[in-house]
Structure 1
């Protein structure tokens, strides 16, 4: 019985969901866990050490670090989900279309575009795009979404090419299904599970990348709380008040860990051919 439960619900999936649930409750229920305004400055209380009144201390402007961490999580997580959702839709549409029209001019153009984007480091491209169009959270999301879709496109295209060799796909063609019906009815269902697993892993990486770009000043601008910008704001006082960095750094680490655990669990659960230990 226990082995059946472990097989049906991998431990990593359960652990990731529990950890992510705790983080979501803390972040979304921020007003329930702190009474401080993340924007309110109390210069007389600047750089205070952690205490009962300020569990994570205060920053250089006297703002409560716990409050800014919890409210900042709303900004970071929401922007990451929006950016990944945009990239997923673009990549899925491009990949399935390229797979459906394999060998055509459209397929060639899309694949060469992907090759060009993969030739440059993501962070460099995102920094260039964000610098060209401005430094705000919206521009950051556009920059990330415009280059992050390539991994989804490559995966969905490869799945589409495999699906086209199956009997059900040939049968649908014989029955007179249109190309749109073939993409939606035959190719898309086969790509969903693999795309879902990839998206879970990519969301953790997305959070790290958005935080890194915000750390460099290309994302959310002060005084908006955001994990990456909070790390940048506290680095100048690291030796004097290292507690400023504790909240955002810990939440970034735990959130990325949660999504990686969920991704591993989904991969084990959705892939019946996965060999344990590999």
Structure 2
């Protein structure tokens, strides 16, 4: 319940916050402390911190969610296809080819993209998703190669089940738990990359109203006006922690239910 409450509160602020926020333009001196006109003070550009916090959640949620969704929609089916095909050299070639991308530092890739001068949110989503792809493929592939999963696959092959049902549907359900847990922790990495990219001018500008951008933009003023960075950073922490709590709880329930089904099947087989 704590995880769901935190996640709901963070998403409500992100979705409904802009409706309650005041103007986000520069209307006062920079780095003012909290006062009557500005409950949380102003940032380095003289903007109201409370209005920025209420208005900056939509873009970060959309960009991070789109990047994660794209990475897993490409990476998980690719991993399942690699495991399901019979040519071992194809699996190894694709895996080692992705290792080349895994060796590239994420910040270096963002710097190269920023040097092109293009400021495109779609390009940012594609770049962040591509950087996460090798790790996701390795994780899903390892989960699909687990002994319990392979034993079930061999049984379904002997029963004459179609290829797509074995390697995409059944194996995909088997790797859903590890993938969900990974997504909860990978959200933090994605948020860091998006914040760095936005600060470099790739995707959103450095003056954009976005929680991740606000943290990067006001980090040097942390000791002068701490609310400028602590408030958006706290909202990001709430989303990350809540997502991990919800995913962990759902994974435990799914694992317990699966264990009960396996125990019943084993007792039934023993009885026969």
Unaligned 5+ residue runs, structure 2?
A: 260-272
Q: Aligned equivalents of 1:127 and 1:85: distance in 2?
A: 23
Matched with 1:41 is: 26
Matched with 2:14 is: 27
Matched with 1:134 is: 118
Q: Aligned equivalents of 2:160 and 2:116: distance in 1?
A: 48
- SS of the aligned residue for 2:196 comes to helix
User: How far did 1:184 drift?
Assistant: 2.8
- SS of the aligned residue for 1:57 comes to coil
Q: Quick one: structure 1 residues 125 and 166, their matched pair in 2 at CA, closer, same or farther if it must change by over 3 Å? A: same
Q: Aligned equivalents of 1:85 and 1:107: distance in 2?
A: 23
User: How far did 1:83 drift?
Assistant: 0.1
User: How far did 1:74 drift?
Assistant: 1.0
Can you list the C-alpha shifts for 1:238-267, whole angstroms capped at 9, x where unaligned?
A: 454343223222222332222333344344
Please show how residues 160-239 of structure 1 align to structure 2 within 5 Å.
160-162=144-146, 165-167=150-152, 169-235=153-219, 237-239=221-223
Q: Quick one: structure 1 residues 117 and 18, their matched pair in 2 at CA, closer, same or farther if it must change by over 3 Å? A: same
TM-score by length of 2: 0.81
Q: Aligned equivalents of 2:99 and 2:44: distance in 1?
A: 45
User: How far did 1:149 drift?
Assistant: 1.7
Contact 1:72 1:227 in 2 (8 A): yes
User: How far did 1:221 drift?
Assistant: 0.8
TM-score by length of 1: 0.79
- SS of the aligned residue for 1:183 comes to helix
Q: Aligned equivalents of 2:16 and 2:171: distance in 1?
A: 39
Q: Quick one: structure 1 residues 175 and 147, their matched pair in 2 at CA, closer, same or farther if it must change by over 3 Å? A: same
Q: Quick one: structure 1 residues 232 and 196, their matched pair in 2 at CA, closer, same or farther if it must change by over 3 Å? A: closer
Question: More deviation in 148-157 or 249-258?
Answer: 249-258
2:3 is equivalent to residue 16 of structure 1: yes
2:100 is equivalent to residue 116 of structure 1: yes
Unaligned 5+ residue runs, structure 1?
A: 1-13
Q: Aligned equivalents of 2:204 and 2:10: distance in 1?
A: 21
Q: Quick one: structure 1 residues 115 and 254, their matched pair in 2 at CA, closer, same or farther if it must change by over 3 Å? A: same
Question: More deviation in 104-113 or 57-66?
Answer: 57-66
Q: Quick one: structure 1 residues 228 and 171, their matched pair in 2 at CA, closer, same or farther if it must change by over 3 Å? A: closer
- Of the candidates 121, 134, 143, which is equivalent to residue 127 of structure 2? 143
